[in-house]
Amino acid sequence: MKDEQVKLTEEEVVETLEEVKKAFDVLEFAKGYNDGVFSPMTQNTLMKNLNVSTMVPDRQGIEDALKNPSNNESQLVSYSQSYYFSSLMYKRNLEYIANLPAFDLEMTCINATPEDYKSNKYKNDYKIVADFLDKFNYRAQFKEVLWNLLMEETYYGIFREFETKSVLQQWPWKYAKVTGKFEHGLLYDIDMNYFLQGVVDLDCYPDWLKKKYLEVFNGDTNKYRPSNKLNDRTGKFAQWVQTSPENGFWCFKFNPKHSLQVPFFSGMLPEMAIVPVMRRLQVDQSMAAARKLLVSSVPYLKEKKSSSVANQLAIDADVLGKFIGLATQGIENAIKVLALPTEDIKGVEFENTDKDTYKNFMAITSSLLSGGKVIFSTDENQNAIETQLSLNLDELLAESIYPQFEDFLEYNINKRTKKFKWKFRFVGCNDQFDRGRRQTEAFTYADKGVVLPNKIASSLGLNKIELERELEEAQATGFTDKLMMMLNVNTMSPDGAGRPAKDDADLTDSGAKTRAKASNIEKGGKI
């Protein structure tokens, strides 16, 4: 009896093939495989390795890497991370710059007329802006990005929107490369091999990446072209795929003038490598200076007898050894005893001619760092004006990154609004001098009738929307009336109040010295 042949219809064949394809689906296989290896330990390892890859630094290795930075980017990043964890000087400097920007936001509609501000279209778009800023904690998110920029120079992020929050999800820098630019910033490609580690959960990433995963590992081909438009960055090369800000992929760089991923403070790495050498040298010098050498002369026989041997000592070696042994028992270890068979030997002391070798080296090294004058100085003669000037230079460095964050907000907000578009600007630093200056400036203008809501809000650490809400709440709850008496009392001139303080430019030489040293405080004055 012959086996009967089963004949399938065309629909049944297609259905069967679809089932087979589904059974061997790469994504489903990956999920099934990973389900067996996921654990808190593996996830913790992934989190630690996301942006940390340290390497034991050595001076020669650092210098070799700096000679050819384009081929040693990963090595230089690893050195930077190592010194962050091992050198308090390097760490404090990085943290100082990372926390210096205030990220005080000013915003202005660039295409609205006076009549537009009362229209429903403007109000609707304004609400879109407000909702975006409410969901996205730009101050905290951008500070985290800046910290990574100082450590690694480049931050690869994915903008994720959830029901109540929007965040930047970091993509591992070892699996990404900058590959282009557009009008608002940089473009980058990612290596999908990151998901082949066996412990990476695809569900932790956007659906777009899941789709690209299937395309890459199912053999779908899309021609790779660097010139692809933002809405058509679908090309791939091997396991590398293009990404687009249209899908939330955004790249920040501390120095966008070049494409190298070389940490900003890499130039300090050779000096940091010398620090332990100089520390050891200073210790050796100090230990040598603390020691003293006592030398005794052992005489020769003065009268030469016929039976005596030339250069014979006047004391037996065994007896000499016993005497030296007794002497060393009664003195400190820092004092050494030596007996030499020569005449007129005197005591020897070791003098440390450079007691501040390590101190001077550290002073020079710290002065090259940002914030060196502020956070590392031990100079008693440093005055307030010098400190302020040093701080101003550091502020310029920190604020140089602001335009990239402004571009991020403009791109992501303006593509959501219908008609009206906004310009965003970050200002200010987290120091009392800068914030006080901005507050004085804003309220001085207001006193003269020039009310600038953005300037007032940013000087208070708020954006215009936040200030509006606080004022509306205060007025609606009657809180403003309750504060009037306090405000009136506060604006009264206190007894004995003197004339207003002069600007620095109007001070005499002696006045500048007094203000710089703050020597008038003990007399009841102000800096």
Q: Residue range 367-380: average pLDDT?
A: 54
Q: Could you tell me the two tokens for 282?
A: 């200073």
Nearest 5°: CA angle at 36, between 33 and 42?
105
Q: Is the pLDDT reported for residue 402 higher than 90?
A: yes
**For 193-347, where are the alpha helices, taking DSSP H only?**
207-217, 269-289, 317-329
Range name among 204-208, 260-264, 362-366, 370-374 with the lowest pLDDT average: 370-374
Q: SS3 of 211, please?
A: helix
CA proximity to 206, closest of 155, 241, 256:
241
What is the predicted pLDDT for the residue at 350? 56
Q: Residue range 422-441: average pLDDT?
A: 90
Q: Is the pLDDT reported for residue 425 higher than 90?
A: yes
Residue that wins the pLDDT comparison between 82 and 480: 82
Q: Is the pLDDT reported for residue 43 higher than 60?
A: yes
Q: How far apart are CA 198 and CA 38, in angstroms?
A: 8
Q: How far apart are CA 275 and CA 271, in angstroms?
A: 7
Q: How far apart are CA 63 and CA 61, in angstroms?
A: 6
What is the predicted pLDDT for the residue at 461? 93
Q: Could you tell me the two tokens for 229?
A: 């438009």
**Using an 8 Å Cβ cutoff, are 289 and 352 in contact?**
yes
Range name among 173-182, 248-257, 336-345, 418-427 with the lowest pLDDT average: 336-345
pLDDT in tens, 62-99: 889 999 999 999 999 999 998 898 888 888 888 988 99
Range name among 44-58, 100-114, 142-156, 359-373 with the lowest pLDDT average: 359-373
Range name among 253-262, 398-407, 504-513 with the lowest pLDDT average: 504-513
What is the predicted pLDDT for the residue at 134? 96
Domain ranges of the chain: 9-38+154-253, 91-140+388-490
Beta strand extents in 183-233 (DSSP E only): 185-191
Q: Residue range 475-492: average pLDDT?
A: 71
Residue that wins the pLDDT comparison between 283 and 108: 108
pLDDT in tens, 320-329: 676 667 666 6
Cα within 13 Å of Cα(115), Cβ side: 0
**Other C-beta atoms within 10 Å of 434: how many?**
21
Residues 6+ apart with CB under 8 A from 373: 367, 382, 386, 387, 390
How would residue 230 be classed by pLDDT, with cut points 50, 70 and 90?
Answer: confident
DSSP structural state of residue 368: H
DSSP structural state of residue 350: -
Q: How far apart are CA 434 and CA 432, in angstroms?
A: 6
Q: Is the pLDDT reported for residue 136 higher than 80?
A: yes
Nearest 5°: CA angle at 258, between 254 and 262?
60
Q: Is the pLDDT reported for residue 310 higher than 80?
A: no
Which residue matches tokens 């053999």?
Answer: 219
What region does 315 belong to: left with phi over 0, alpha with psi -120 to 50, or beta? beta
What region does 127 belong to: left with phi over 0, alpha with psi -120 to 50, or beta? alpha
**Using an 8 Å Cβ cutoff, are 418 and 124 in contact?**
yes
Orientation angle between helical segments 88-99 and 138-152, nearest 10 degrees: 140
Q: How far apart are CA 149 and CA 262, in angstroms?
A: 10
Q: Is the pLDDT reported for residue 500 higher than 50?
A: yes
Q: What is the mean pLDDT of the chain?
A: 78
What is the predicted pLDDT for the residue at 345? 47
How would residue 521 be classed by pLDDT, with cut points 50, 70 and 90?
Answer: very low
